[in-house]
Amino acid sequence: MLSDQALDSILRNQLNLPAEADTQALDQVLRSVITQDYLKSQLSAFVNGLFDSLQGVTTEFNPSIDLQPIKTALANEKQDEFLTALVAALPACQEGQTPGFGEGQSPCKPQGIPDEMLIDNFLKPALPQYLAQLPDEIAIGGIWQEWQDNGNWQVYLPGMAGPAGAMLGVLFLSFVALCFWYLTALIADNSWRVRLQWLGWTLMISALPVFILGLVLHSSTALYWAQYGLQQAHFGSVPAYLTSPAVLQALTASILPRIAGAFLAVGGVAAGLALGFIVWGLATGRETQTV
């Protein structure tokens, strides 16, 4: 997203700049507008939307890129800097060329007009109109829909989407585990005082590692080692803009809290149930044995 090649391609396509135009100054202006915080907010929104869709919180996943902060910055605090860099990148108009950025026009500077006059009298009044023609957001849901249409997100049962089928599988496996857990308690002892404590302590042994893992994933240490591993990884043919440090750090910082939250929730609920079984077992009176 921030590579010279990507920014140069965007500028030349949107502004129809000639091949000989020097866009280095324009690249720097865009870099100052597309900040790290902006990238993090866009990627965090994408990750949160994806997790909400997979977890059934939302029924649809329609990711998009919000262009409104960029348009606002170019129309206000970055306007003079952007227009100055734009004028510097424009070549002088040749004979027969009509200056402008519309159809039949050429992006060039009229000869004999100072840059300051060109900016104040022509570009500044035209910039808001040009920005208004740009969309406030770019929908990228087509990529997601194409992935679904290609069969990569098959349904598990007729009329059920992948997340619902996966949840059904989890519920079935949980029911099987619950049955074995209950049977081991029946085998452990004949008294319910011991059985309840057995249920509690065996559940606690499983719940604590899950809860601790959630705390670890939520810490800065996990984020550091995850980013360190990504820096050492080789991504092969993956596009460079997807493996840039800014993108990887933003994705990691967005994904880890969602995963950690799931571990903390499951571990916390299970530990609470385990503690309840233990207290219930301790509160249960001992059975008197008759001779």
For residue 111, being part of any structural domain is answered with: yes
**Is position 149 within any domain?**
no
In a domain, 229, yes or no: yes
The whole-number pLDDT of residue 144 equals 54
Residue 270 exposure: Cα atoms within 13 Å on the Cβ side = 21
The dihedrals phi and psi of 92, each to the nearest 5 degrees, come to -70, 140
pLDDT at 159: 44
Flag whether 205 is in a domain.
yes
Over the stretch 91-102, which tens digit does the pLDDT of each residue have? 888 777 777 766
Q: Is residue 150 part of a domain?
A: no
pLDDT confidence band for 156 (50 / 70 / 90): very low
Q: Cα separation of 60 and 149, whole Å?
A: 15
Confidence of residue 143 (pLDDT cuts 50, 70, 90): low
What mean pLDDT is predicted for residues 160-172? 69
Q: How far, in Å, are 40, 84, 162, 269 from residue 51 at the CA level?
A: 16, 43, 13, 20
Range of the domain at 105: 4-142
- Residue-wise pLDDT tens digits, 28-67: 888 888 877 888 888 888 888 888 877 777 777 778 888 8
Please write the tens of the pLDDT for every residue from 195-253.
999 999 999 999 999 999 999 998 888 888 887 887 777 766 655 555 666 677 777 88
**Closest among 217, 208, 214 to 271, alpha carbons compared:** 208
Of the pLDDT bands very low, low, confident and very high (cuts 50, 70, 90), residue 264 is: very high
Which stretches of the chain are DSSP H helices?
A: 4-15, 24-33, 36-54, 68-75, 79-89, 115-118, 124-133, 141-147, 162-188, 192-217, 220-232, 245-283
Give the pLDDT of residue 5: 61
Domain boundary among 142, 175, 209: 142
Based on the fold, state whether residues 64 and 124 are members of the same structural domain. yes
Number of domains the chain contains: 2
Neighbour tally for 95: CB within 10 Å: 5
**Looking at the predicted structure, is the pLDDT value of residue 75 above 70?**
yes
**Mind listing the pLDDT tens digit for each residue in 53-63?**
777 777 777 78
